[in-house]
């Protein structure tokens, strides 16, 4: 299945710029449509945070200031979107059934970002999200986890810097779980057009389920001829070994399952998903 529609929760950060560039590059590859969504804070949400002891006039003033700041930020993000769309030679407009070029549209809405993004992602082939900002706890990325847990669709985490190429050399992280199987299914279109594909596996990463060697004939039925490679944990970090294996292959796209263990367990003890989210320097598509 081709990638026909992408959703991009758009912010005005540097990471947001890289994600926008990544999404537009993917749109050019697949001749698909990018819906850039900027979610504005509802000024009415400021009132409960104001606390007691403030007059109605003071709360009204705070709400007005919040609305002004939100509007200015939305205008700045929209201007950034227009600039990047022009740079990537993507056509502004709505998607069509038989597009021979990439298109993009911008929407600014008021509400809770995690709720809106998860809902809209259910009708997108792929959601592109910014890489967690430097120093940001990846567990606090509400939009990312909302898509992973509540959309039923794959999410692609953009690297901090926009990649030069995407999808020429594809790595699959395989550990036999339902999550990794979902990632393989979502990555089949990418693997079919890739120059080379590698399946990465490790004894310390494998869970109950089919081994990596069993994945090879399945992919062959889809016209994909991957190579197999084992990786080892680095300093007891399986995620570090996985990224090293992808880096050694020269991968510009990694597909993997997310949170095979519970999110709470990974938050407390760490885990492969968390390590990759924080340290990856290439586009990573995750499925849950």
Secondary-structure class of domain 169-287 per CATH: alpha beta
Q: What is the pLDDT of residue 1?
A: 75
Q: What is the pLDDT of residue 138?
A: 53
Q: How far is CA 118 from CA 55, 84, 151, 279, in A?
A: 37, 24, 5, 24
Residues of the chain with pLDDT below 70 are 42-56, 58-59, 62-63, 66, 133-141, 260-270
Q: What is the pLDDT of residues 43-99, one digit of tens each?
A: 566 555 555 556 667 667 766 776 778 888 899 999 999 999 999 999 999 887 777
CA distance 188 to 176: 16
Q: What is the pLDDT of residue 140?
A: 46
CA distance 237 to 232: 9
Q: What is the pLDDT of residue 156?
A: 97
Q: What is the pLDDT of residue 96?
A: 79
Q: How far is CA 109 from CA 25, 192, 212, 280, in A?
A: 24, 37, 44, 30
Q: How far is CA 153 from CA 58, 150, 254, 258, 269, in A?
A: 43, 8, 16, 12, 26
Predicted model pTM: 0.89
Q: What is the pLDDT of residue 265?
A: 45
Residues of the chain with CATH 3.40.50.620: 5-43+73-157, 169-287
Q: What is the pLDDT of residue 47?
A: 55
Q: What is the pLDDT of residue 99?
A: 73
Q: What is the pLDDT of residue 269?
A: 37
Fold of 5-43+73-157: Rossmann fold (3.40.50)
Q: Are 8 and 23 in contact (CB under 8 A)?
A: yes
196-201 sheet: strands from edge to edge = 91-92, 103-110, 33-40, 5-9, 126-129, 155-157, 284-287, 253-257, 169-173, 196-201, 227-230
């Amino acid at each position: 299945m081709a990638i026909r529609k992408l959703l991009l929760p758009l912010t005005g950060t540097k990471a947001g710029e890289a994600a926008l560039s990544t999404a537009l590059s993917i749109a050019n590859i697949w001749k698909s449509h990018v819906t850039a969504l900027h979610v504005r804070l509802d000024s009415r949400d400021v009132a409960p945070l104001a606390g007691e002891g403030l007059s109605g006039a003071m709360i009204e003033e705070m709400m007005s200031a919040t609305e002004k700041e939100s509007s200015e930020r939305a205008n700045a993000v929209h201007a950034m979107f227009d600039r990047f769309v022009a740079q990537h030679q993507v056509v502004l407009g709505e998607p069509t059934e038989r597009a021979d070029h990439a298109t993009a549209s911008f929407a600014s809405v008021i509400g809770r970002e995690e709720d809106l993004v998860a809902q809209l992602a259910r009708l997108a082939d792929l959601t592109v999200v910014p890489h967690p900002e430097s120093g940001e706890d990846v567990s606090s990325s509400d939009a990312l986890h909302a898509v992973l847990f509540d959309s039923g669709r794959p999410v692609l985490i953009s690297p901090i810097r926009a990649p030069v190429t995407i999808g020429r050399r594809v790595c699959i992280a395989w550990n036999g779980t339902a999550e990794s199987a979902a990632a393989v299914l979502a990555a089949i279109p990418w693997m079919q057009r890739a120059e080379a594909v590698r399946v990465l596996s490790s004894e310390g990463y494998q869970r109950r389920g089919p081994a990596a060697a069993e994945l090879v004939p399945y992919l062959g039925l889809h016209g994909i001829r991957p190579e197999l490679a084992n990786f080892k944990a680095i300093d007891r970090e399986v995620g570090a070994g996985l990224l090293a294996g992808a880096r050694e292959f020269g991968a510009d796209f990694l597909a993997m399952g997310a949170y095979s263990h519970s999110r709470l367990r990974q938050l407390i003890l760490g885990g492969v998903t968390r390590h990759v989210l924080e340290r990856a320097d290439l586009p990573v598509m995750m499925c849950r």
